[in-house]
Structure 1
Amino acid sequence: MTPIARSEASHAPDAHAGATHNVAVELLLEAGVVLAESLDLATTLGRVARLTVPRLADLCVIDLSDADGSIRQMAVASAEASVAEELSNLRERQQLDPAGEHPVARVIRSGTAERLSQMAGAQLRSFAAGSEHAQFMIDRGYHSALVAPLLARQRTLGALSVLRLGDGGPYEEGDLEVVSELARRAALAIDNARLFSEVRHVEQRLAAILANLAEAITLTDEQHRIVFANQAAADLLGAPTPEELMRATPQEIMERFLILDEQGRELGIEHMPRTRLFAGEAPVPLLVRNIVRATGEERWLIARPSPVNDPETGKLLYSVNVYEDVTEVKRAQIAESFMAEASRVLASSMDYTATLRQVARLAVPQLADWCAVDVIGEDGELERVATHHADPERLALAERLARHRSPSEDALGVPEVIRSGRARLYTDITPKALAAYASDAEHLAMLQEIGATSVLIVPLAAPTRTIGAITLVAAESLRRLFQSDMALAERLGRRAGTAVESARLYTARKRIADVLQSALLPESLPEIAGVQARALYRAAGELNRVGGDFYDICECGQGRWMLAIGDVCGKGPRAAGVTALARHTLRAAAMLGQSPERMLATLHEALTRQQTGADMCTVCLVMIEPREGGARLIVALAGHPLPVLIDAAGHARQIGRAGTLLGVVDQLRIHEVECELAPGETLLLYTDGVSEAGAPEHQIGDAGLLALCAEAPALSLESFLASIALAASERAPGGLRDDIALLGVRLENELR
């Protein structure tokens, strides 16, 4: 402790006095700096409280008196943080009674400082806010206290209290003088902060008034006549000065504009908020779309009425009308909403012709009265793929107009925009300009019937080229297309152009995939005397058609046939290469007269000769040899699901024995299993895309597949395979995760 806080008995009296004086001066100087640094009340008082600890006190509390007389603790500081926190929580629960005997309450009421040189438990209990408060003071050893009023400009704002805890010495009169001076300076800072806050509030109110005056403001009477207007209102309502605006009648002003609500319904003077205010209603602010009839200029406004009543009678005298121009905000909102919906439509299908028609419907009347979309076709010719107008009867006019070609079109119209890749806006559409553009009298008559007031053409811009154009036309709705509309139209053109190009690339890839996959599967299955053979293939995705599953049937000689079905790991060109290798290797091995086990070994050798990391493959291979009274089957499996044999009664069972996956380990384990296929029985070979279709907990599985096979005798072979594929698709409503290949053979009742 410093001498002023804990003076030692051994110090000489004059030395102690000098030290005390120095500490007091130092404290007050630091307080002056702190109080001058900030006008934020809570920050300032917290720092003042911390100045006193520990040099002057063990605990410091600053309380303020609120307007209602209640006492509010504003700052507390302690040598032990836990003491300050506990006291703050306690004072929130047990506030001081302004009329009570607590020293803070007495000092605030009297405006006179108090020194409590020594406090015992009985005294603490006498002025405590409650039993919990009393116990806290006793437990913490409240020993001596100084309480000084916060006096400023003949007002007591609160009190500053410093306390010694435990066995500290009592405060002296000199200490009270220091604390009183600190309280006086703090009170002046508090009052200055209050005055600053009041001045700031006045400035804020004044700023709000000035901000409102910057908006369009009118004052109208019960007859809807404007009795006051600022220049912003005159500019908004088409008058050069406020005085001229005030001379115009309400009807003259309304006739200058087409006023619509958010849904596009036309509004009259009776719908205006000021009119409804005089009708005794409490209207809410109204958002309107304001179109200047003479120029087509469009603004979005929020009209807010406020009543001005007679102070004596309460009668409504005037309506103060504030018009907030929210055009930019509303246009941005409309643009984002429109682009979100347009993006959704464009992403909904790869049929770009259909989606562009939907986009044209979205653009009318959101962006214009007419919308047309032209796209360069695969043959290089310009094709009109979409035209839309809100009135279906006028679409016939657009179709007739599209059949006429203007001599100026290459220089001025859609072809020029496609060629340059730059948008064009035409606003000066005069009769003379139409006549110059028209190819003949009939063409001119149709152009005049369209009644275009402005035309905006933007490119359909794909990432690397321009592939078409979107034409927007403003006509009968009074609106005009301006430079500000071009940004949104160009965004639409870029988004649509990208979608069209993506759809074309998708279509091209799909065609390539279809051609390649067709080359990897047999064009048709051979005819086997006395045996029906059918196959079915379903790709997991439109562009996943290349590679994956395969099947084949080929003759091995001596009346024997090879049935093969397999699944290559992976998709795309690499899988396609492995699929071709597998199919043709098996065919070659079959022609060489190899056994099923040896065929699979030959394929394994071919796979392992591929570059490192090449490919795995599963195969189910069945050698079938039709003969009198049935057919002999030899089944060999390499990591593939077991085929299913279905008798004429619908009983199904798996046949064969599991073998090693091809292309992985060199020591193959392939087992040949012989069995018989009787007349009327069906053999089903399939890939795991069938049994694993659907979510893991809802897959068809082996048991489900056997149950489906029970229907085989009642169905043709084609229908049976189709029913299996349908069941797999139904288990996977979000789409198949793996390809499906099915190969079925059925022995006829009489062998030919």
Structure 2
Amino acid sequence: MGLGGPGRARFVPERRWGVGRELPVARGTVDGRAFEARPTHWVENGETIVVWWLVEAAEKQMTPDSLRLEHERAAFLMAAANELTSLDAERCLDTTVRLAARHLADLALVIVPKAGRGHRAVYCGPDGAIVREDMKASPTEIPGVAEALQGFPPVPSRWIDPALVPNPLLRHGFDEPGSMVVTALPGPGTPVGALVLVRKAGNAAFSDGEESLTRQFAARAGTAMSAARLYAEQASITEILMRELLPPQTRDMDGVRLATGYRPSGLGEQVGGDFYDLFPAVDDGESLIVLGDVCGKGLEAAVLTGKIRNALQVLLPLARDHQQVLDRLNEVILLNGDPTKFVTLVLASVRHRKGRVWMRLTSAGHPPPLVLRANGEVEEVPTVGTLIGVIDKISTHTVGIELGPGETCLLHTDGVTEARGGPLGKEMFGDERLRAELAGCAGMPPDALVERVQMLARDWVGDGYHDDMAVIAITPRRERTPTEGKRDP
């Protein structure tokens, strides 16, 4: 606005300035408020015209106390944001009420919906103790809470009568609540809860600035709680899905001792592209053992692994004919329509009788099984076949073998033999090195043999990258003689 009237003399210099000269900015106060008079000039009809604009210097008006208060509030919000970084939902709740009770009020209360029906409350008072409980009172009985939980704008504290709050909700000796603020904890779409702050009678009521600070704090707390809740939901879903994708628990089958080992490629991962499954014999038939390797790594490969394992479960009645099982499985994978998604498999049908194990082995593009004889000789089972999921018609060749006492059939994925490392860090572990190492493991129990193979591959790779690795050892269970287990007289 243009400056005129009696206040003009306080600001506008009396000295006349020539055209082209820079005019100074005049400063002063009117009724305790800081102002600046900023000049502008132009030439009109050969005459210089100067207009002084009066601007309130709001930033200059703040007193040292108000500046300190603003700095303290900014520091509090920054510290709160740093503390509200946990992805644990309960810890976020605790941190929210603890910070609010320490810096904003005498009592802090967070009300959140429960899964299903009802609400629960988390309290914190001046002593810092945190109390959790299910709410017996309805949110509609607490002024402003029902509106906050629905995402409505907060009700000003001067409109809320804390005397209307049900007594059970006021803890830590709050016989006479003096003032109360209620605000929403924002979430994605709907609030994740409501923040209630209460001050004792006799303490200062909430100012407009404190209500604004409460809303800013609630925004940060709501964001942190939303992130923690989302993380918890995703973790729960992942855990459920992972449970279905994890390899089954190893258990001995009728007359057969089994040991398995699995090591995903990624650090900290639980599943990957390698998998195995165990199907015990039904009605004195054959047990079926499956070891496979899906193209790809990580969770995406694990999803395809889950589909394959489910399909094999359905195809189990056809297990007497390995070719038919693999034909049907090939059709299932081809239905996905992605030629880059394929799998190699080895099927092992196992039957035990009189201390010996008879096996039928069929490879579909998979590394051949190895047999470790009792004398240390290592044999490669000559079964070959087409990998699954690439072409419409596959071919396989099934080979039968027999295992005697102390002899083991070893199934493994190419993550073992193709592990790169060694002295130069680039050489593959290889089939020959694996067979040479196995020759020194004759008579070793299956669990020890699996551990030995995994240790060899792990040491060969060192700190370098490796593919998924899976190993299964199958050996006849040693039968006791009639005199074994009897004590000497």
- TM-score category of the 2 structures, normalised to the smaller one: 0.5 to 0.7
Aligned to 2:293: 567
Distance 1:601 1:409, change over 3 A: closer
User: Once the two structures are superposed, what CA deviation does each residue of 1:211-263 show, in whole Å capped at 9, x if it has no partner?
Assistant: xx959xxxxxxxxxxxxxxx9999867xxxxxxxxxxxxxxxxxxxxxxxxxx
Q: For 1:345, which of 86, 92, 112 is the aligned residue?
A: 86
Aligned to 1:746: 475
Aligned to 2:486: none
Does the Cα contact within 8 Å between 1:690 and 1:700 map onto a contact in 2? no
Does the Cα contact within 8 Å between 2:290 and 2:347 map onto a contact in 1? yes
SS at match of 2:405: coil
Distance 1:562 1:724, change over 3 A: same
CA distance in 2, matches of 1:454, 1:693: 69
CA distance in 1, matches of 2:435, 2:335: 37
Structure having the larger proportion of residues in helix: 1
CA distance in 2, matches of 1:491, 1:700: 55
The alignment's TM-score, normalised by the length of structure 1, stands at 0.44
Deviation at 1:650, TM superposition (A): 9.4
Does the Cα contact within 8 Å between 2:287 and 2:349 map onto a contact in 1? yes
RMSD of aligned residue pairs (Cα, Å): 5.7
1:180-579 alignment, distance < 5 Å: 203=24, 214=34, 290=65, 299-301=66-68, 327=70, 331-332=73-74, 334-336=76-78, 338-342=80-84, 344-346=85-87, 351-361=88-98, 363=100, 365=102, 370-384=107-121, 386-389=122-125, 391-392=127-128, 395=129, 410-412=141-143, 414-424=145-155, 426=157, 433-439=161-167, 446-448=173-175, 454-473=179-198, 480=206, 482-510=210-238, 512-514=240-242, 516-517=244-245, 527-529=253-255, 531-533=256-258, 549-555=275-281, 560-569=286-295, 570-571=300-301, 576-579=306-309
Read off the aligned partner of 2:183 and give its amino acid letter.
V
Distance 1:667 1:387, change over 3 A: same
Q: Higher relative contact order at CA 8 Å, sep ≥6: structure 1 or structure 2? A: 2
SS at match of 2:237: helix
Distance 1:369 1:653, change over 3 A: farther
Read off the aligned partner of 2:86 and give its amino acid letter.
V
CA distance in 2, matches of 1:580, 1:407: 47
SS at match of 2:173: helix
SS at match of 1:636: strand
CA distance in 1, matches of 2:463, 2:219: 35
Further displaced range: 493-502 or 680-689: 680-689
User: Is residue 314 of structure 2 the alignment partner of residue 584 of structure 1?
Assistant: yes
User: Is residue 331 of structure 2 the alignment partner of residue 602 of structure 1?
Assistant: no
Deviation at 1:353, TM superposition (A): 1.8
SS at match of 1:613: coil
Read off the aligned partner of 2:361 and give its amino acid letter.
V
Distance 1:437 1:387, change over 3 A: closer
Aligned to 2:13: none
SS at match of 1:345: coil
Aligned to 2:366: 640
Deviation at 1:511, TM superposition (A): 5.7
User: Is residue 350 of structure 2 the alignment partner of residue 624 of structure 1?
Assistant: yes
User: Once the two structures are superposed, what CA deviation does each residue of 1:665-701 show, in whole Å capped at 9, x if it has no partner?
Assistant: 3564644455543424444435567778999969996
Read off the aligned partner of 2:77 and give its amino acid letter.
A
CA distance in 2, matches of 1:468, 1:621: 54
Distance 1:437 1:501, change over 3 A: closer
1:158-169 alignment, distance < 5 Å: none
CA distance in 2, matches of 1:589, 1:739: 29
Aligned to 1:244: none
Deviation at 1:618, TM superposition (A): 1.5
CA distance in 2, matches of 1:456, 1:650: 80
Read off the aligned partner of 1:488 and give its amino acid letter.
Q
Deviation at 1:638, TM superposition (A): 1.9
Deviation at 1:466, TM superposition (A): 3.3
Distance 1:460 1:610, change over 3 A: same
Deviation at 1:447, TM superposition (A): 1.4
CA distance in 2, matches of 1:716, 1:528: 15
Does the Cα contact within 8 Å between 2:406 and 2:442 map onto a contact in 1? no
SS at match of 2:233: helix
CA distance in 1, matches of 2:326, 2:58: 90
Does the Cα contact within 8 Å between 2:183 and 2:196 map onto a contact in 1? yes
CA distance in 2, matches of 1:415, 1:635: 67
Does the Cα contact within 8 Å between 1:646 and 1:712 map onto a contact in 2? yes
Deviation at 1:454, TM superposition (A): 4.7
Does the Cα contact within 8 Å between 1:404 and 1:439 map onto a contact in 2? no
Aligned to 2:44: none
Distance 1:646 1:418, change over 3 A: farther
Does the Cα contact within 8 Å between 1:549 and 1:739 map onto a contact in 2? no
Aligned to 2:41: none
Deviation at 1:380, TM superposition (A): 1.7
User: Is residue 389 of structure 2 the alignment partner of residue 663 of structure 1?
Assistant: yes
CA distance in 1, matches of 2:107, 2:449: 50
Does the Cα contact within 8 Å between 2:421 and 2:429 map onto a contact in 1? no
- Percent of matched pairs sharing the same residue: 21
Read off the aligned partner of 2:182 and give its amino acid letter.
I
Deviation at 1:416, TM superposition (A): 4.5
User: Once the two structures are superposed, what CA deviation does each residue of 1:573-627 show, in whole Å capped at 9, x if it has no partner?
Assistant: 6664344224433x2331xx32x4x256524653466253365222122233434
Aligned to 2:52: none
CA distance in 1, matches of 2:76, 2:106: 16
The alignment's TM-score, normalised by the length of structure 2, stands at 0.62
SS at match of 2:80: helix
Aligned to 1:679: 405
Distance 1:576 1:233, change over 3 A: closer
Read off the aligned partner of 1:510 and give its amino acid letter.
T
CA distance in 1, matches of 2:197, 2:262: 46
CA distance in 2, matches of 1:722, 1:489: 57
SS at match of 1:494: helix
Deviation at 1:464, TM superposition (A): 3.4
Read off the aligned partner of 1:606 and give its amino acid letter.
E
Distance 1:465 1:232, change over 3 A: closer
Aligned to 1:612: 337
CA distance in 2, matches of 1:576, 1:403: 40
Distance 1:676 1:473, change over 3 A: farther
Q: Report the count of equivalent residues.
A: 426
Aligned to 2:9: none
Distance 1:751 1:687, change over 3 A: farther
- Structure 1: where are the runs of 5+ without partners? 1-194, 216-230, 238-287, 291-298, 302-325
Distance 1:388 1:617, change over 3 A: same
CA distance in 2, matches of 1:456, 1:633: 75
CA distance in 2, matches of 1:368, 1:719: 65
CA distance in 1, matches of 2:289, 2:386: 19
CA distance in 2, matches of 1:427, 1:733: 65
User: Once the two structures are superposed, what CA deviation does each residue of 1:629-685 show, in whole Å capped at 9, x if it has no partner?
Assistant: 533444332233444556679998875566432121356464445554342444443
Read off the aligned partner of 1:377 and give its amino acid letter.
K
